Structure formats: structure tokens, C-alpha cells
Amino acid sequence: MSDKAILEIDGEKYEFPLVRGTENEVAIDVKALRGATNGVITLDPGYKNTGSCQSAITFLDGEKGILRYRGYAIEELAEKADFLEVAYLLIFGELPNKEQLEKFHADIKSHSVVDDDVKKIIDAFPKSAHPMGVLSSLTSALTAFNPSSVNVDSEEEMYNAIVRILGKFPVLVAWTMRKKRGLPLEYGDDNLGYVENVLKMMFKSPNHDYVQNEVLVNALDKLLILHADHEQNCSTSTVRITGSSHAGLFVSLSAGISALWGPLHGGANQAVLEMLEAIKEDGGDTKKYMAKAKDKNDPFRLMGFGHRVYKNFDPRAKIIKVAADEVLSDLGVEDPILDIAKGLEKEALEDQYFVDRKLYPNVDFYSGIIYRAMGIPVEMFTVMFALGRLPGWIAQWREMRLRKEPIGRPRQLYTGETLRSFTPIEKR
């Protein structure tokens, strides 16, 4: 195969090198395009064909339904690894040995206290505030309490900022939920594993001993692993582009949290459950909602279906569907919503509209059912996604900084008015 692409504009030919990834993906390197062609740019709204960077973190093949972190299949990681190991793998590139993992965890634990004044900020939010807005604000606010995390250039400075946020973020997650439930803002127990401690911080009641439930720990571990990275999605690209201005890790993550909030992205897990609830309330008529989803005059979309990159089964959805069954049966929960979800999935997979458009269930179609069985309120679902995605965002931010990528600044094709002269207000 050739190693260059040829572009012809107004009879003039330009050559651009082809770049190949380790999985034989091919990209046209257009860095020189604008300079060579006297101002011509590429136009690609939604970046459907645009590679924003080279990355060695996550490989996904949407046609084949493959997802790998640092070369390891997601199926194997979900089965054999725990979340902290996966976080280490994503951020530093290799699975940790025992000592490395213990040191990583110890460093995180040494930063797992947040300044007590953060409680005042949380108190100032109304209980009705959406937890994603609260989490985004708090993550940004942490910068004020940890200014050394901003100007990080060396690997050591980056490491310190990374373990700090990995220590403090679960506290913010738990306190966001506790505030909503009117519970005191308490800490967990550093003797526990990372995920066990998250659950304890979220659910511990002030006057009861908290008893760990292995089923919940395993389910959350798995969910967090499955959400941990997904290459250049909307929130991750937001983190990279914010960080590219050297704005600091915490605010870059805060920007990513805001991007994740939207229902077309991470907010889909909340939207899926609300949709399934609405279908149940409406008598469970899935066919009616299938018809709405296909009606171009109806804005309704089947939430949890379709994906920008997967045009095949989202491999994460397969794992989560099985996990949902297991968790519900282990907890002895019978949730009619699971049946509605399975019914919708079956109908959609057999429906020509969905088949033609290659719309399959995505990661969030079943995750909300598990979160609900765990006792996590619907508005917290996207917060749980953010907790899972944290190592991925960090890994991508670190990679971007270590590769000394330039500030992200796309071009545009201007389609507005050309030069015109100012009309005084009395003459308009």
C-alpha cells in the first residue's frame, strides 16, 4: 500500500504522508495542508473522520466490537483485574506488580482527605442541585486547595497531582451523594480496598456499622473498569483540549465532567433508566416506544442505543448485561425494568430501522439497572461513570502533556457576513 495520499485542488497536486497505527489503522497526516495550499483546511463537524492525536492507551474497533486498554482485552480485564490495577495500567502503560500497586494505593490513601472547607462549598449547594454540576464544581475548586497541582511539568509533579485527585475524587463523589440524602459528610476507611472504601463512604449510615457486600464490590469494580477509558470520546477530548492550554489537571477533569454530563454521552445512563421507568409507568408497551424512536417527527431516541464509534455490539454492554443478571439474582432483586430492557433490546436487534443504522445497545443500556439494584440514586449514575472514567481522563491528560502536544485550537470555515459598515443605532 502506498505511503502517501494525493490531493488535487484547482489542478494542483499535493502529497501528504500516510501514518499507520500498530493495529494498521491509517491516517492522512494533514499537518502541512494549510501552509502548502495557501489556506485550505479540512471540514469535519463532530470530528467523525478526524484523528486529534496519536495515542497508545486504548484501542477500539467499532466495526468488530473490540475494546482494549494498553493491549489487554476488556473482557479479560473485567474478569481478572481490579479497578486500581486497571487505573495504573491505563495511566502508566503496564500492569503493576504487587509492590508497585501497593505503593500506588498507599500514595493515593495519603491524599484521601480533602480540606474541611470543601464541606462549606458543598453546604452552599441546594439539595436539588444535579450531582454532576456539584462534582464538576468541586473538582475545579480542589485546585484552590492544592495549587501545586497546576504547574506540573515533570513526571514527579504529574504523579503527585494524579495520586492527589485519585485520593480525593471518591470523597467528592460520596459526599455529593450524602449531601443529596442529607447524610453527614464522613470519611470511609483507608484499610479497605479503593472500591470498597468508595461504597462505605457512600452508604455508611451514622449510627450503624457498615457491612461490605462482596456482590456490590465486585459489580462496582467491574462497572468502573468497563467505563475507565474509551479513547477520544467527547469528555476525554475535552480533558485533553483543556489540559493542552496547561490549565492544570483538576480543572481539565472538571471540564471533562461537564462534557460527560450530557445525555448524548455519560448522561445516557440516567436517561436510560428514566426512559425504562416511563415505559413501565405507561404500561410497558415497548412497541409504542420503538415506533416513537423511529418516527423522524418525534425527538424521542431510544436511550442507550447507538454509538458514534461502535457499529456492532458494544463489548462493554455484553459484559454488563450478564453482570446485571448476576447482581439482581445475587441480591434477590426482581426488577421489572430489566425485563423491559431485555424486551426493547430484542425488538431493536430485529428491527430493520435499527439494523440498517447499526444501532446496538451501548455500555449504558444496562449499567443503570445495576446501579439501581445497588441503591444508587438515578441522578448519581453519571457521577459513577465519572468515577470510572477518572483514570482514563488522567492517562489521556498525562500522555498529552508528556508528548508535549500543542494547544488544541481547531480552525473553522467562516460563513457569516463579509465586511459591512456600522449603522448608528437611530438608523437601524
Residue 305 contacts ligand ACO per CB under 6 A: yes
Specify the stretch interacting with ligand ACO by CB under 6 A; choose among 283-291, 329-337, 358-366, 387-395: 358-366
**In terms of CB distance, is 43 or 419 closer to ligand ACO?**
43
Least distance from ligand ACO to the Cβ atom of residue 33, Å: 25
Least distance from ligand ACO to the Cβ atom of residue 66, Å: 16
Q: Out of 109, 119, 280, 308, name the contact with ligand ACO by CB under 6 A.
A: 308
Specify the stretch interacting with ligand ACO by CB under 6 A; choose among 19-27, 50-58, 265-273, 395-403: 265-273
Least distance from ligand ACO to the Cβ atom of residue 365, Å: 7
Q: Out of 166, 293, 344, 383, name the contact with ligand ACO by CB under 6 A.
A: 293
Least distance from ligand ACO to the Cβ atom of residue 93, Å: 24
Residue of minimal Cβ distance to ligand ACO: 306
202-264-239 Cα angle (round to 5)? 70
Q: Which of 307, 330, 339, 356 is catalytic?
A: 307
Least distance from ligand ACO to the Cβ atom of residue 57, Å: 17
Residue 302 contacts ligand ACO per CB under 6 A: yes
Residue 85 contacts ligand ACO per CB under 6 A: no
Residue 338 contacts ligand ACO per CB under 6 A: no
Residue 31: how many CB atoms within 10 A of its CB?
A: 10
Least distance from ligand ACO to the Cβ atom of residue 264, Å: 4
Residue 7 — left, alpha, or beta (φ > 0 → left; ψ -120 to 50 → alpha)? beta
Q: Which of 82, 314, 351, 364 is catalytic?
A: 364
Residue 357 contacts ligand ACO per CB under 6 A: yes
Residue 292 contacts ligand ACO per CB under 6 A: no
Least distance from ligand ACO to the Cβ atom of residue 159, Å: 28
Q: Out of 167, 364, 368, 369, name the contact with ligand ACO by CB under 6 A.
A: 364
SS (H, E, C) the chain: CCCEEEEEECCEEEEEEEEECCCCCEEECCCCHHHHCCCCCCCCHHHCCCCCCCCCCEEEECCCCEEEECCEEHHHHHHHCCHHHHHHHHHHCCCCCHHHHHHHHHHHHCCCCCCCCHHHHHHHCCCCCCHHHHHHHHHHHHHHHCHHHCCCCCHHHHHHHHHHHHHHHHHHHHHHHHHHHCCCCCCCCCCCCHHHHHHHHHHCCCCCCCCCCHHHHHHHHHHHHHHCCCCCCHHHHHHHHHHCCCCCHHHHHHHHHHHHHCCCCCCHHHHHHHHHHHHHHCCCCHHHHHHHHHCCCCCCCCCCECCCCCCCCCHHHHHHHHHHHHHHHHHCCCCHHHHHHHHHHHHHHHCHHHHHCCCCECCHHHHHHHHHHCCCCHHHHHHHHHHHHHHHHHHHHHHHHHCCCCCCCCCCCCCCCCCCCCCCHHHC
Residue 268 contacts ligand ACO per CB under 6 A: yes
Residue 388 contacts ligand ACO per CB under 6 A: no
Specify the stretch interacting with ligand ACO by CB under 6 A; choose among 53-61, 355-363, 391-399, 408-416: 355-363
Q: Known catalytic residue: 307?
A: yes
Residue 266 contacts ligand ACO per CB under 6 A: yes
Tell me the site size for ligand ACO, rule CB under 6 A. 18
Q: Known catalytic residue: 265?
A: no
**In terms of CB distance, is 87 or 303 closer to ligand ACO?**
303
Cβ 275 vs Cβ 300: under 8 Å: no
Q: Out of 363, 373, 386, 394, name the contact with ligand ACO by CB under 6 A.
A: 363
Residue 318: how many CB atoms within 10 A of its CB?
A: 17
Q: Which positions are annotated as active-site residues? A: 307, 364
**Residues of the shown chain interacting with ligand ACO in the complex, contacts defined by CB under 6 A:** 264-266, 268, 293, 301-308, 357, 359, 362-364
